[in-house]
Amino acid sequence: MPDTDDDNNKRHTTSAGCVVESAVERTSRGKSGCEGLCRFPNTGGLHRTPGDAPLETHSCTRPVFCHVTKSRSSSSRRIQVASVAYRDKTHYSVLKHSTIHRRGLNKDKKQYKQSFYLKDVKMSNIMSKREFKCLNVDFIKENVVVCDGGDTYSETIRKITCNSNVHCLRISNGDLWVADTINASIGLRLLLPGGTSTPVFIRLPRRASLDIMDNGRNICRAMRVTASTQHQSLSRGTLNRVFTEDGNKYCCVGAQPGRAQRGVQSGLYRLKNGLPSKEWDTIQKIVKRAEHGFDKFMNTEIIRHISYAKKRVNFRTMEPSPSSSNKKSTRYYNGIGFGINVFLRCHVDKDFTMSIVRAHIDDHDYKIEDHVICYFAFPRIGIAVALRPGDFLMFNPQEPHCISSRCREENEIFCISYYLKSAVVGLNDNTNMVV
């Protein structure tokens, strides 16, 4: 990442007239001119740093996948501090060289694992084919953009497209380039051009997804029971509009910012409204499994980002029910959102880290050769990722995205997303001045 010191980005000229492109300007403190201009990054325990120079210098800009509010309230400042906690120089000043070395080895292992098990989607191949539609951000904001994943034209899609401001992207018409692979041992990854290491999405190899969950019976039952205890479908507002089919509901479960009170609430009020503890614990267990998949394939820097944020601001995550024998909360995610036979308007989320989406069907043992049941679309870049039952997709929530309608109307699709809301990280309490 670029240094925060503006001088680090300047071009420097040596006394011999040679240009040093990436030199770092430091006070010499009596050292020779060659040591005053150092072209090597000052990382690791073996490199000599002049004076009190930190071991690592980082930019304080937020990661591209992290939603950070700009307000100066205490809640917003907690989000801002947590978003860059992993770059705090004081962490590195107390680390042993062996620890830094081990982290480098772990990073290299993860990069090798990604290159071995994930196939990179080439943006050049997509952009060269003009028949695919890439919508700009302003168009997405001003219009209701949805994705029709159906093999046929569904009645629900037909009704909403009667409105003039609704724009429908149809998979069957070839409006989006479909990212998929038949090889069950290979997953998919998309990195945008420009050298960034943050993926737009990672779809795990199907074998790895089925190792995490090979059927959806328990989670589908828990979602069905949860929906039955909720009076009406949750509204996410105009920008994040949810479309439901067959009178189904959209629900959110887990810790959430209080609407009429300060702080972050556990969400266990649902137990008083009729949700059995068993179903709550089933959902919490599924979130923990998702975190396991996150650890296995996500970039080391992104895992470190959320781990240091948790240490810096001890925000609330999803807790087990009081009657559970397991008393540990989830590590990263504060909750889930799900719906049965739903599709969403293209939007971005106010999430703190990479989110996860999965699609399930009930009463079915997942197999390698299962058919695609829906798509996860990224209309700005003209891509839709094919999802089979149990597929595991991690994605950047700041990239405009949406889940499509189901491919076949005879299937009942349970779509579930795992998230960490930035408002939860900020603790939702401006009277708490501790940052």
Q: What tens digit of pLDDT does each residue of 361-408 get?
A: 999 999 999 999 999 999 999 999 999 999 999 999 999 999 999 999
Q: Are residues 204 and 337 located together in one domain of the fold?
A: yes
Cβ contacts of residue 336 below 8 Å, gap of 6+?
252, 253, 254, 283, 286, 287, 416, 417, 418, 419
Q: Is residue 65 part of a domain?
A: no
pTM of the model: 0.83
Q: Is residue 88 part of a domain?
A: no
pLDDT at 337 over 80: yes
Q: Are residues 224 and 301 located together in one domain of the fold?
A: yes
3-state class of 9 per DSSP? helix
- pLDDT for the residue numbered 151: 83
Question: Distance of CA 111 to CAs 103, 116, 117, 302, 332, Å?
Answer: 12, 9, 10, 13, 22
Range of the domain at 154: 114-425
Q: Are residues 6 and 155 located together in one domain of the fold?
A: no
pLDDT at 95 over 80: no
Cβ contacts of residue 432 below 8 Å, gap of 6+?
74, 75, 262
Q: Is residue 109 part of a domain?
A: no
Last residue of a domain, one of 59, 74, 105: 59
- pLDDT for the residue numbered 278: 97
Q: Tell me the one-letter amino acid at 434.
A: V
Residue with the bigger pLDDT between 11 and 299: it is: 299
Question: Distance of CA 141 to CAs 75, 116, 168, 351, 381, Å?
Answer: 27, 37, 14, 18, 15
Q: Are residues 269 and 397 located together in one domain of the fold?
A: yes
Q: Is residue 238 part of a domain?
A: yes
Q: Is residue 83 part of a domain?
A: no
Query: Taking the C-alpha atoms of 85, 88, 90 and 96 in order, what is their torsion angle to the nearest 10 degrees?
Result: 90
Q: Is residue 430 part of a domain?
A: no
Query: Looking at the 3D structure of the chain, how many domains does it have?
Result: 2
Last residue of a domain, one of 39, 59, 79: 59
pLDDT band for position 414 (cuts 50, 70, 90): very high
pLDDT at 166 over 60: yes
Token output for 64: 């591209």
Last residue of a domain, one of 41, 59, 77: 59
CA-closest candidate to residue 170, choices 193, 154, 189: 154
Q: Tell me the one-letter amino acid at 248.
A: N
Q: Are residues 29 and 151 located together in one domain of the fold?
A: no
